[in-house]
Structure 1
Amino acid sequence: MRQMRERLGTPRAAGVAGVLFALLMAAAIILVRLALPGGADGTEITVDAGQRGAVQTALELLPFAGISFLWFMGALREQAGAGEDRFVSTVFLGSGLVFVAMLFGCGAAAGTVLDDGQPPSAFGRHYAYTLLTTYGLRMAAVFVFTASTIGRRLGVWPRPLILLGYAVGLVLLVVGADMPWSELVFPGWALIVSLHILKGHRPTDHPSPTTP
């Protein structure tokens, strides 16, 4: 019982890290979208100083967003403790790590617009958007699905939040790049979950399933 309470004592770290990730990720997405509104299929190839500055700022935010997400993921997994399902937990951890890898890869590809005096690489832009919206969002969907499943099985999340998670995961999995600005759905979900955790809605007074 004491061990379970100690593990459930980490949600504040998860909440703070989740809020930081959500804000940084959303800011980076908005900056890139506004600077390169054409997305992967945009026909414009001229990028002015203002657009370069916006993309540069977004790329500087991405590493911190990725680091915050790792803390968020680790703190969420710590909440599961000994009650975690190994299969679900493995998928949860794997999808989160792959998402971060794709996020950093997307940032590296998006950096092609920052070469002064050179037109942005059409391949680099297409690669960056495809990596984020086609593959990254699918990994984010798996992460949301598994996080919601863990929250449901352990009873640490309320039913509305679990249903929201499954809905968000479905949108990310099925819609993906077909819906403009769909990248913001994931940080939006992370923000809602983090605020819920920071409010302290968790059953710390419930007995452990192994308690006689």
Structure 2
Amino acid sequence: MIVVHHLNNSRSQRVLWLLEELGVPYEIQRYQRDTRTMLAPPELKQVHPLGKSPVITDGGRTVAESGLIIEYLVERYGDGKLAPPAGSEDRLRFRYWMHYAEGSAMPPLLLKLVFDRIEDGPMPFFIRPVARAIARQVKQSFITPQLQLHLDYLEAELGRSEWFVGNEFSAADIQLSFPLEAAAMRGGLDQSRPRLYDFLQKIHSRPAYRKALERGGRYDFGPKEALIYRLP
């Protein structure tokens, strides 16, 4: 049985979604973030030395990293679903998006989160003006332009086809869901980019996505109506 070591409000939500799309049975082992630091609890280090989510166990095998987990599950349990045929041009494009999501799209979003916290967080009064001025300058000169660059790129790519790899929904769309949801939450993605906005509406309406929300619990990056699924 596959076990998803699931951290609330994290990338592991898309692993649950993938498993629902594939119709593969799985169990959830839940972990809660520290309410002060928002970091994963130390118990996750008993599963993988880095102590981060997502991680799955499948029999005696432990698999970490979102892209690898998704590729592993599609190849082992997909039976040809949610990925283009091996060796095709679309398969190369599929693999590109699997790496792009975490390697290129997420870094500026993470930087924005860090510098937002520097700008808005508590600190000694005598360094507050300098720290906040530096944070604003870094965001204005580097982070915001990078976010705009990537959102423009992704918007244009969806002009080529209905989904990111073509006209068929694939696991690459699942992999890209988290950076796009994070961008909608804190990175400036809104209806001014209609293709990306429509992409989010489409994935949020999928039955498997909804089922994953029911099972996964609290997920602040999802649709606003997902409040009804959140656990106390």
- Bucket of the pairwise TM-score, normalised by the shorter protein: 0.3 to 0.5
What is the TM-score with the length of structure 1 in the denominator? Answer: 0.39
* Higher RCO by CA contacts (8 Å cutoff, separation 6 or greater): 1
Larger strand percent: 2
Larger helix percent: 1
